[in-house]
Amino acid sequence: MKRITLLLFSTLLFAGPRLDVSSETWDFGTLKEGEKAEHVFILKNIGDDTLVISKVRATCGCTATLLEDSIIPPGGETKLKSSLRTKGMSGVFHKYIYVYSNDFENPRISLILTGKVQREPAPRIRVWPTIVRLNRISPGDEEKFVVSVQNYGELPLYLYEVKTSPGIQLEFMPEDSIPPKSSINLNFKYVPTEPGPIEELITIKSNDPRISKIYVFVRDKEEKRE
């Protein structure tokens, strides 16, 4: 009787499609920022019916996946290739990949990519605000405003160019670098050449290896509602 019960339990355990992953977590260890990392998960069907993988979803845009086959016969397996872009990442990370299938006991399983990204010392630029809103003024008048540029990196930040559209004037272009963990103010004047909506642009170029250009948009303080 006990043998029959165990046999029945074993039969029920593997009845239908069953998705199995030998290792649901992969640790990349320490990676350098900008390095591309790849890993292949092996997905197996340990059930007695065809397994259908309906969807694979990564929770981060930095993670890409490629499924070899979506239909796995009993006893078969397929490969799920995953790749991780580490540009802009720093420190410990945990990236999740969800696999959906017709396994009635586990219709969704979670795969995890983990590790640590070591960022190389570099200048890092942060600009505020990136949208400046001003009141409309008449041609010939002027309105001043300030844009703050911060270096939150580990090396000096150099501003190569601050380019403005015709209605914007930069009062003073800094010649020195911005030390790490420091900031400066850029002083601008809005001097319209003709009446109408404010649509101006400031382009800031620097030696930040991740962001070569940052845009500051100058617009009307009060949006016109139709």
Characterise 38 by phi-psi region: left (phi > 0), alpha (psi -120 to 50), beta (else): beta
Amino acid in position 201: L
Q: How far apart are CA 64 and CA 55, in angstroms?
A: 13
Mean pLDDT for 13-41 is: 91
* Model pTM score: 0.61
The b-or-e profile of 175-209 (16+ CB within 10 A means b, else e) is: eebbebeeebebebebebeeeeebebebebbbbbe
Domains defined along the chain, listed by start: 17-118 (2.60.40.10), 125-220 (2.60.40.10)
Average pLDDT over residues 210-221: 92
Instruction: Provide the β-strand partners of residue 200.
Output: 218
pLDDT band at 9 (very low <50, low <70, confident <90, very high): very low
d(CA 80, CA 169): 54
Compute, in degrees rounded to 10, the torsion defined by CA atoms 12, 14, 18, 22: 130
Q: What is the pLDDT of residues 95-149, one digit of tens each?
A: 999 999 999 999 999 999 999 999 889 999 999 999 999 998 888 899 999 999 9
User: 159 and 139 in contact (C-beta within 8 Å)?
Assistant: no
Q: How confident is the model at residue 168 (pLDDT cuts 50, 70, 90)?
A: very high
pLDDT at 226 over 70: no
